[in-house]
Amino acid sequence: MLDFTEASLKKVLTRYNVALEKAMTPEEAAEEIYPKDELIYPIAKAIFEGEEDDVIEGLQAAIDAGKDPIALIDDALMVGMGVVTRLYDEGIIFLPNVMMSADAMLEGIEFCKENSETAPVTKGTVVCHVAEGDVHDIGKNIVTALLRANGYNVVDLGRDVPVDEVLKAVAENNPIMVTGTALMTTTMYAFKEVNDKLLEKGYKIPFACGGGAVNQDFVSQFALGVYGEEAADAPKIADAIIAGTTDVATLRDKFHKH
Amino acid sequence: MAAKRYTSMAYASADEMTFGVSKYPVKAGLDLEIGAGYTIPEINYAPRPEAGSSKEKLVKEYERITTDIMSRMVQVGFPAVILETEHVQQMSNNPSWGAEVAHAQKTIMEEFHDEYGIKCALRHTIGDIRENRDFLQLRGDKYSVFLEAFEECAKAGADLLSVESMGGKEVFDYAVLRNDIAGMLYAIGCLGSIDMELIWSDISAIAKKTGTVSAGDTDCAQANTAMFIGGGLLDKNLAHTLAILARAISAPRSLVAYECGAVGPGKDCGYENVIVKAITGMPMTQEGKTSTCAHSDVMGNLIMQCCDCWSNESVEYHGEFGGTTVQCWSESLAYDCALMNTALETKNDKVLRDLLMLSDRYRDPQAYVLAYDNAYRVGQAIVKDGDNIYLRAKNAAVECCNIVEEGAAGKLDLSRFEAKALADAKASLEALPDDMDKFMDDCLTKYKSEVKVFLPENYGF
């Protein structure tokens, strides 16, 4: 069988991921940025490791030591999740780590809520859905996990969502943004209907769209559309909105890559 | 029919395999013989978004697409073509829509065949509509509509019947995002295989009844999801060593179609098809560099190595400088086939096969395992325990780990991250029981509790 020499192989391809891999391991990188507080540190570390039981154990210890359960959401769980999302953004850890950490964080939030009589405050609400006629929802599931990991309240409408149901959720939840995902060319056409009905009802909120067959040109055709190429763009768009960039044209300038 | 399990390889050695030649060629459509010594372009397309608004618009769109392709094939002098229509959901949920499209397409193809003698066939890939908004509904009310869609399309002109079935996807989507190799094995290898046996027995019966070809399935819903999430070299969503494990596990799952009466050509996006061909000797469609219109991959040349039909995955129908998209992409496919056919006619097929393979062999662990010699080894691991759907999937995964480890000891460069993901996966595999019943019981308990949308009754549990 034909084969390369080491030298000839280098003339044909380069595995850039190997060539550019960071020297530090994910665990070492996380250790550098964990909070130092002895009650918070184990919670943040358990979030990073995606160990749900350890998260609860850490929270219980912090509550026993006098910490307010609701305050722990921001001061411990979100701080731990911040370590995770930062290392993900820096390319040091991969998506499954984020998903497992998000699972652990959500369990932690539920535990904090159960141990308090006040409700936590989130950064804002985002309504997420998969286009009507489309049942491919793994992309939407990643988007909702990443939004929650970044401190947003998510109203997850699921898949194959009728346009009117999206409108109803917007009316009821006053979101900062709507997201829509679709795999098929024929189902993504529903995005235009969502856009038109939002405008008809006077909602001028950004409508972030992405997924399989969806592309920037298509999303740019409707007034509220902002294209997100990666699921990880969703929390970044939301962050931009709560930082004051609500104008669709400006969001497009920032997030449209092509 | 009961599945007739494969316990041996169709080919005595990996080197016997090449493109355009299969052990069991398939006659289909209008004078076409697939895997009989020549490769065939198989063009796949999607209607424009607005075309789905009515049946009339949809039929008209497919008429334009079909005419465009057939015209271009004739204009540039290509002898054969396959058209693949992947149903949009309206066409499978309303079988009469799919049937009208098939009839309209076949009528046009017959006209070209009559006038020019061009050999051609029409594949219809029915949408897996067996679900409602909240759950997969694999054995529920929609199953009869699903089968009706196959039968109506077959009667109306479709020659090759396929589907990208979804069995196991609800557990897989959960597992793949959590590096859960046991969950991936359960989803693809066990749940997927159980569902495949049900549907392919019925689809093969329809093919027999209608005189059409039961052509095969692809694990698009799972292994391709892993490949797409894995993405390119710099993407950070899934280790490519896990993506290739999902692919290796998908081979015994896609094999089930052929154990239940399918005869090929397997569907384009089944990158596992090279393994399936090694086991069955049946012709396979593949896609690679010519499917960049739909998605990127890291083995665009390599995957051509043993194809019988060569596809573009899917392209939205619209205009380009060189004509409509279907004209441009079918022409590209057909030129690739002309090169492969020239190699076959001049007895240079194995040289070209090896050039295609080698150009991507070390690009990625996914490519490395699917190189035909390694793919053959995965096939051998599958047939070793061919009668046990769990053990053969586990064998495929373990052999995949071994192959990547051996590659990494040589010229296959792995990142530390990829190597660690592989080592973790191998350790998980080694911790699994050999007893299928125990594995199935453990997984049923675990995923019933962790995956809200998992309904065991979908699999007859």
Per-residue pLDDT of chain B (461 residues; tens, 9 = 90+): 689 999 999 999 999 999 999 999 999 999 999 999 999 999 999 999 888 889 999 999 999 999 999 999 999 999 999 999 999 989 999 999 999 999 999 999 999 999 999 999 999 999 999 998 889 999 988 999 999 999 999 999 999 999 999 999 999 999 999 999 999 999 999 999 999 999 999 999 999 999 999 999 999 999 999 999 999 999 989 999 999 999 999 999 999 999 999 999 999 999 999 999 999 999 999 999 999 999 999 999 999 999 999 999 999 999 999 999 999 999 999 999 999 999 999 999 999 999 999 999 999 999 999 999 999 999 999 999 999 999 999 999 999 999 999 999 999 999 988 999 999 999 999 999 999 999 999 999 999 999 999 999 999 99
Q: Looking at the partner chain, which of B48, B173, B414 has a beta carbon nearest the beta carbon of A185?
A: B48
Of A2, A21, A185, nearest to B46 by CB-CB distance is: A185
Amino acid B233: pLDDT: 94
Is B318's Cβ below 8 Å from some Cβ in A? no
Q: Do B415 and A15 touch (CB under 8 A)?
A: yes
Q: Is residue A161 over pLDDT 90?
A: yes
Find all residues with CB under 8 Å of A137, minimum gap 6, and list them.
A130, A158, A159, A181, B173
Residues of chain A found within 8 Å of residue B411, distances taken between Cβ atoms: 3-4, 6, 9
Q: Report the gap between the CA of B285 and the closest CA in chain A (Å).
A: 22
- Is any Cβ of chain A less than 8 angstroms from the Cβ of B316? yes
Taking an 8 Å cut-off on Cβ atoms, the answer to whether A95 and B237 are in contact is yes
Q: List beta partners, residue B28.
A: B32
CB contact under 8 A, A16 and B233: yes
Cross-chain CB nearest to B415 (options A21, A100, A159): A21
List Cβ neighbours of A251 (8 Å cut-off, separation of 6 or more).
A206, A226, A237, A240, A241, A245
CATH number of the A125-255 domain = 3.40.50.280
Q: Tell me which residues of chain A have a C-beta less than 8 Å from any C-beta of chain B.
A: 1-4, 6, 9, 12-13, 15-18, 20-21, 25, 88, 91, 93-97, 99-100, 103, 133-135, 137-138, 141-142, 145, 158-161, 184-189, 213, 218
Query: Who among A6, A95, A99 is closest to B236 (CB)?
Result: A95
Q: Inter-chain contact B360–A4, Cβ cutoff 8 Å?
A: no
What pairing do the DSSP bridges indicate for beta strands B32-36 and B21-28? antiparallel
Q: Are B239 and B295 in contact (CB under 8 A)?
A: no
Strand order in the sheet with B40-45: B213-217, B160-163, B119-126, B80-86, B40-45, B309-311, B285-287
Question: In this predicted structure, which of A12-26, A233-247, B24-38 has the lowest mean pLDDT?
Answer: A12-26
- Look at A186 and B88 and tell me if their CB atoms are within 8 Å: yes
Residue B238 contacts A where some CB pair is shorter than 8 Å: yes
Hey, is the C-beta of B413 within 8 angstroms of any chain A C-beta? yes
- Which of A55-64, A234-243, B128-137, B213-222 is the least confident region? B128-137
The verdict on B411 touching A (C-beta cutoff 8 Å) is: yes
Chain B, window 34-53: residues with a beta carbon less than 8 angstroms from a chain A beta carbon: 46-53
CB contact under 8 A, B415 and A2: no
Residues of chain B neighbouring A184 (CB-CB closer than 8 A) = 46, 88-89
Peptide bond before A26: cis, by omega within 30 degrees of 0?
no
Set of chain A residues whose Cβ sits within 8 Å of the Cβ of B51: 186
pLDDT at B341: 98
Contacts of A134 in chain B (CB under 8 A): 89
Looking at domain A21-114, its CATH architecture is Orthogonal Bundle (1.10)
CA distance A115 to B205: 59
Specify the 3-state DSSP secondary structure of A101.
helix
Ramachandran angles phi, psi of B410, nearest 5°:
-115, -120
**A12 interaction partners in chain B (CB closer than 8 Å):** 359
With contact defined as beta carbons under 8 Å apart, do B40 and B311 qualify?
no
More confident site: A243 or B49 = A243
pLDDT at A24 over 90: no
Backbone φ and ψ of B118, nearest 5°? -65, 130
Question: Do the chains contact at B355 and A2, CB–CB below 8 Å?
Answer: yes
Coil, strand or helix at B112: helix
| Tokens 């609800």 sit on residue | B170
CB contact B358 to A (< 8 Å): yes
Domain residue ranges in chain A: 21-114, 125-255
Cα distances (Å, whole numbers) of residue B10 to A225, B16, B281: 52, 10, 5
- CA gap A130, A209 in Å, rounded: 10
d(CA A231, CA B177): 13
B177 CB neighbours in chain A (<8 A) are: 95-96, 99, 138, 141-142, 145
Question: Secondary structure of chain A: what % helix, strand, coil (to 5)?
Answer: 55, 10, 40
Task: Name the closest residue on chain A to residue B14, using Cα atoms.
Answer: A1
What is the distance in angstroms between the Cα of A139 and the nearest Cα belonging to chain B?
9
Q: Is B1 on the interface with A (CB under 8 A)?
A: no
Largest CA distance in chain B: 62
The reported pLDDT for the residue numbered A191 is 93
Show residues of chain A in contact with B229, CB under 8 Å.
95, 138
The amino acid occupying position B52 is G
| Proportion of chain A above pLDDT 70, given as a percent | 100
User: Testing the interface with A: which of B133, B164, B416 to mutate, by most A Cβ within 10 A?
Assistant: B133
Residue A100 has pLDDT above 70, yes or no: yes
Share of chain A above pLDDT 90, in %: 82
Inter-chain residue contact A160 with B225, CB threshold 8 Å: no
What are the φ and ψ backbone dihedral angles of B291, each rounded to 5 degrees?
A: -105, 20
Question: By the CB < 8 Å criterion, does B162 face chain A?
Answer: no
**Integer Cα distance of A220 and A207 in angstroms:** 11
Closest CA to A22 of A87, A88, A92, A86: A92
pLDDT on residue A213: 81
Q: What whole-number distance in Å separates Cα of residue B11 and Cα of residue B383? A: 12
Q: How many CB pairs under 8 A join A and B?
A: 109
B153 Cα to chain A: minimum distance (Å): 20
Instruction: Test B354 with A1 for CB contact under 8 angstroms.
Output: yes
d(CA A101, CA A104): 5
Partner-chain contact B133 A160, CB within 8 Å? yes
How high is the pLDDT of residue B53? 84
User: Contact, A25 vs A90, CB < 8 A?
Assistant: no
pLDDT given for residue B245 in this prediction: 98
Using a CB–CB cutoff of 8 Å, tell me whether B225 touches chain A: yes
Q: Name the residue among A158, A159, A185 with its Cβ closest to that of B47.
A: A185
The set of residues, in sequence order, having a beta carbon less than 8 Å from that of A53 and lying 6+ positions away, is: none
Nearest C-alpha in A relative to B86: A184
Mutate to test the interface with B, among A8, A137, A138 (most CBs of B within 10 A): A138
Q: Is the Cα dihedral B215, B216, B220, B226 positive or negative?
A: negative
ipTM of the prediction: 0.90
Q: Give dist(CA A19, CA A156) in Å, integer.
A: 40
Residue A66 zone, left/alpha/beta (φ > 0; ψ -120 to 50; rest) = left
Instruction: Give contacts of B 245-284 with A, CB under 8 A.
Output: none
**Is residue B385 packed enough to be buried (19+ CB in 10 Å), middle (13-18) or exposed (0-12)?**
buried
Q: Where are the alpha helices (DSSP H) in A90-232?
A: 95-114, 138-149, 163-173, 190-200, 216-219
Q: Report pLDDT for B395.
A: 98
3-state secondary structure of B41: strand
Residue A245 backbone dihedrals phi, psi, to 5 degrees: -90, 90
Residues of A in contact with B173 (CB under 8 A): 137-138, 141
Whole-number pLDDT of residue B1:
66
pLDDT at site B32: 98
Asked if A213's CB is within 8 angstroms of B46's CB, the reply is yes
Q: What is the dihedral of CA A74, A78, A79, A83, to 10 degrees?
A: -170
